[in-house]
Amino acid sequence: MADTPLDRIHIADLLVRCIVGTNPGERAKPQDVVINVTLHADLRAACRSDRIEDTVDYRSLKQRIVETVEASHFFLVEALAEAVSDICLSDPRVRKACVRVEKPTALRFARTVGVEIERERSDHA
């Protein structure tokens, strides 16, 4: 598959509220997290056909991400990012997912802190 081009779909600045963190205050009420996702896939069929059936249904993926994150209670942003990448790689068209999760209130005097991970289909067993 090395010769297969990998096009990209971006989901930018998805704002979701969830429980995430290790401090007692962070476990008490949901906080904002900002999620950015880049999906790598071969989109040539969709480009030619102009049919939703030939592409990654990013609306459906976004909805699954929101539902999963809102219901989550992770201690680490890293674990939250991994859960999002698992959702992305559940679509067989997605070859690689790059996920960045930012927690704007995590560090005083910093606009945000975040974790970025990349996972490929081969990582997703």
Decide if 9 contacts 58 (C-beta within 8 A).
yes
Cα 40 from Cα 48, distance rounded (Å): 18
Q: Which of these is catalytic: 29, 62, 96, 103?
A: 103
CA 34 from chain centre, in angstroms, equals 10
Q: Determine the Cα–Cα distance for residues 43 and 78; give it in Å rounded to an integer.
A: 29
Count the Cβ atoms, other than its own, within 10 Å of residue 31.
Answer: 17
Pick from 6, 90, 83: which is nearest to 41 by CA?
6
Cβ within 8 Å of residue 28, ≥6 positions away: none
Going by the DSSP 8-state scheme, the letter that residue 59 receives in this structure is H
Whether residue 62 lies in the annotated active site: no
Q: Mind telling me the catalytic residues?
A: 103
